[in-house]
Amino acid sequence: MPERKYRFNPKTLNFEPIRLSIWQRMRRIVLALTPGLLVGVTGIALVYQFVDSPKEAALKREIQQLLTQYEVIDRQLGEVEQVLSDMRRRDDNIYRVIFEADPLPETMRRAGAGGLDRYRGLDGYVSSDMVMSTRRRLDQLRRQVVVQSVSLDEVAALALRKQDMLAHIPSVQPIAHEDLKHVASGFGMRMHPIHKIIKFHAGLDFTAPVGKEIHATGDGRVVTAEYATNGYGMYVVIDHGYDYRTLYAHLSDLRVRPGQQVKRGDVIGRVGNTGLSSGPHLHYEVHKGGEAVDPANFLFNDLTPEEYAELVERSRNATQSFD
């Protein structure tokens, strides 16, 4: 039986038993339990603060793994950006220079994407900055790779065109080197052998025996093959495209006809002495954009450096032409 408690009543001068109301009893119980509750809550809070639950521990391990992977991806993106930057440098400064093409504009290289913020949905998280930065870099790389791919396709097309152009540019001797006696006269002002006046000589004179084969110096289409009354005698003109034409004069006979397609090295005629000529030889001209240019600058494809230097020296030292 619980011990009863008494309280002295000064009015009656007696000790009277203490009677507590239900509210007072509840208050005492609450006051008695409060310290324990505070200790318990504090303990639980400390445990949750410093000790992870199995689920939290698993989530933290997963987050750490994702962060590690993002760091790896970030490094790999840096490597890809370096490779792409090197490709861009070579594309602009090597490939396009070789094929005489202008570099791509910087605005096209950057391949910017306008419009609304495409990454708004990624905002609001702890790792938002890292994820958004990675997405931006990936999107930028993807666009730049597309631009670079298009550029390389263009360079490949330029390479094919360049290969075709190199096949058409006149770049060999019209007469085999072993069939030549020598180069009698070169490009420039020369004494005419018949008129005996200083006159501009628009080509090279290759002296060779009558009947030696004359070869097309580049791919092209024959536009003229006839006997002329202007001093060329029997002559051939080939249109090589790319603004190049070649002329072969004083032939003894023709082996081609107008409109015929020829390849470099094809026989188009034979050495002769027709027209206004002082001896058997081939008069050879190269025209670029309608203007006569020095053929010696194009005879580099089948001569050694020594043979080319000798040819140039002889052609420029001659004082009289053969026609």
Check: CB of residue 252 under 8 Å from CB of residue 218.
no
| pLDDT tens track for 110-134 | 665 554 466 666 665 666 777 777 8
Report CA dihedral (169, 243, 276, 268) to the nearest 10 degrees: 40
Residue that wins the pLDDT comparison between 8 and 36: 36
pLDDT class of 210 with cuts at 50, 70, 90: very high
Binned at pLDDT 50, 70 and 90, residue 247 comes out as very high
Question: At a CB cut-off of 8 Å and minimum separation 6, what does 8 contact?
Answer: 14, 15, 16
Q: Grade residue 178 by pLDDT with cuts at 50, 70 and 90.
A: confident
pLDDT over 50 at 320, yes or no = no
Q: Residue 323: which of 213, 201, 175, 209 has the closest Cα?
A: 201
| Most confident of the ranges 14-18, 97-101, 206-210, 236-240 | 236-240
The domain segmentation of the chain, as residue ranges, is 83-168, 177-317
pLDDT of residue 213: 95
Residue 88 to residue 44: CA distance in whole angstroms: 60
H helix intervals, 2-113:
22-50, 54-90, 96-98, 106-110
Structure confidence at residue 106 as a pLDDT band (50, 70, 90): confident
Q: What is the pLDDT of residue 260?
A: 96
How far apart (Å, rounded) are the C-alpha atoms in residues 243 and 135? 50
Q: CB under 8 Å to 107, separation ≥6 — which residues?
A: none
Superfamily for domain range 177-317: Glucose Permease (Domain IIA) (2.70.70.10)
Query: pLDDT at position 195, please?
Result: 53
pTM over 0.85: no
Instruction: Flag the least confident range among 7-21, 55-69, 72-86, 261-275.
Output: 7-21
The answer on pLDDT for 98 being more than 50 is: yes
Q: What's at 221, amino acid-wise?
A: R
Least confidently predicted of 6-15, 33-42, 149-158, 246-255: 6-15
Q: Percent of the chain, pLDDT > 90?
A: 23
**Average predicted confidence (pLDDT) for the chain:** 79
Percent of the chain's residues with pLDDT above 70: 74
pLDDT in tens, 22-44: 887 788 787 878 887 888 788 77
> For position 101, what pLDDT does the model report?
73
Identify the residue with better confidence: 184 or 67: 67
Sign (positive or negative) of CA dihedral 132, 136, 142, 145: negative
